[in-house]
């Protein structure tokens, strides 16, 4: 709906123009950013820790290796997630227990940061379909893929849909599509994905991540501000970390499928 309103306002404002401008921004104190995923598919816990930098700064962000990272399962078994350099931490062969809660803890500089995430069961994707989409108000033409799957009935499901093109990762934030089941609970879902156009002969790859509600909300808010939007008063997305850390912790499962445009 937002996109349509946007297209409508674009139409009304055919006179508009854009340019890059200089703005003097404050320099905020660096804040810890923890991006943590536990992927059931390959049984790996991946954690990246860094600090915020100045908005127009051009240096690589400061990464943090001197932190202690621990993951705890629903039974209370804690395991260390070892540092592998460049602010990254990885724990291999960590087998999933679906529909349980995982807790991740990071201790850095004497401060402890904790987040919880539920690991939902995977939901399988049906075959990808695609349609040719003609040029529309100056937007590109091309093939768009359709998301097809059957939503499990009577449970709250939240998904992130991620596309790849010819095996190439496209998971820039604005190309992730959040999908909930508030209006589609228990139904077959068929939804065109406008986030990426494909050419004839391309291989479309689609991943359907099942995430918990907090992670879904986090991504929904994150995508709107990363795209330059966020409404009249943009704010940092609501994270599941405590102690004012930025980022998120997502324990997720997924399913994948592929199709060639022909």
- Residues 12-31, interacting with other proteins (CB under 8 A): 12-13, 15-23, 25-28, 30-31
Q: Is position 90 an interface residue for other proteins (rule: CB under 8 A)?
A: no
Backbone angles phi, psi at 16, to 5 degrees: -70, 155
Nearer to other proteins among residue 28 and residue 68 (C-beta): 28
Q: Does 201 bind other proteins (CB under 8 A)?
A: no
Of 82, 192, 201, 227, the one binding other proteins (CB under 8 A) is 227
Smallest distance from other proteins to CB 67, Å: 16
- Residue bearing tokens 């004012």: 244
> Long-range pairs for 67-73 at CB < 8 Å and ≥24 separation?
67/106, 67/107, 67/108, 68/106, 68/107, 68/108, 69/104, 69/105, 69/106, 70/104, 70/105, 71/38, 71/45, 71/102, 71/103, 71/104, 71/105, 72/102, 72/103, 72/104, 72/105, 73/97, 73/100, 73/102
Residue 164 tokens, joined: 């790849």
Site for other proteins in 240-259 (CB under 8 A): 246-248
Site map for other proteins, 48-87, x if CB under 8 A? Answer: --xxxxxxxxxxxx--------------------------
Return the residues of window 111-130 that contact other proteins according to CB under 8 A. Answer: none
Residue 228 makes contact with other proteins by CB under 8 A: yes
Binding mask 147-176 for other proteins (x = CB under 8 A): ------------------------xxxx-x
Query: Which residue, 235, 148, 151, 226, is CA-closest to 192?
Result: 148
What is the size of the binding site for other proteins (CB under 8 A)? Answer: 78
Task: Choose the binding region for other proteins from 68-76, 103-111, 194-202, 235-243 (rule: CB under 8 A).
Answer: 235-243
Q: Which of 125, 237, 249, 253 binds other proteins (CB under 8 A)?
A: 237
Cross-strand pairs, 248: 35
Q: Is 140 in the site for other proteins (CB under 8 A)?
A: no
**Closest approach of other proteins to the CB of residue 59, in Å:** 7
- Among positions 176-195, residues that touch other proteins (CB under 8 A) are 176, 182-191
Give 8's contacts (C-beta < 8 A, 6+ positions apart).
none
The minimum distance between CB 217 and other proteins, in angstroms, equals: 6
Distance separating alpha carbons of residues 201 and 195, to the nearest angstrom = 18
CB 90 to other proteins: min, Å:
17
Distance CA 118, CA 213 (A): 9
Closest by CA position to 245, among listed 105, 38, 60? 105
Among the listed residues 70, 72, 195, 220, the single contact to other proteins using CB under 8 A:
220
The phi, psi pair for 190, rounded to 5°, reads -130, 115
* Nearer of residues 75 and 232 to other proteins, judged by Cβ: 232
């Amino acid at each position: 709906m937002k996109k349509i309103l946007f297209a409508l306002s674009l139409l009304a404002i055919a006179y508009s123009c854009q340019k890059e401008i200089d703005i003097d921004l404050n320099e905020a104190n660096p804040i810890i950013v923890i991006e943590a995923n536990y992927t059931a598919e390959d049984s790996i816990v991946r954690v990246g820790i860094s600090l915020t930098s100045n908005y127009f700064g051009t240096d690589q962000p400061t990464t943090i290796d001197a932190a202690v990272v621990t993951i705890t399962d629903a039974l209370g078994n804690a395991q260390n997630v070892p540092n592998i350099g460049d602010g990254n931490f990885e724990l291999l062969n960590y087998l999933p227990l679906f529909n349980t809660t995982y807790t991740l803890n990071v201790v850095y500089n004497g401060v402890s940061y904790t987040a919880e995430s539920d690991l939902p069961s995977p939901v399988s994707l049906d075959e990808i379909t695609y349609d040719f989409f003609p040029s529309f108000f100056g937007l590109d033409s091309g093939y768009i893929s359709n998301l097809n799957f059957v939503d499990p009935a009577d449970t709250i499901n939240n998904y992130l849909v991620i596309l790849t093109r010819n095996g190439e990762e496209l998971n820039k934030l604005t190309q992730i599509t959040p999908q909930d089941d508030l209006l589609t609970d228990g139904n077959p879902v068929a939804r065109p994905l406008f986030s990426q156009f494909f050419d004839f002969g391309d291989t479309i790859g689609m991943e359907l991540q099942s995430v918990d509600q907090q992670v879904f909300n986090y991504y929904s808010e994150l995508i709107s501000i990363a795209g330059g939007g966020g409404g009249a008063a943009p704010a940092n997305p609501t994270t599941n970390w405590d102690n004012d850390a930025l980022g998120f912790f997502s324990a997720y499962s997924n399913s994948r499928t592929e199709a060639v445009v022909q």
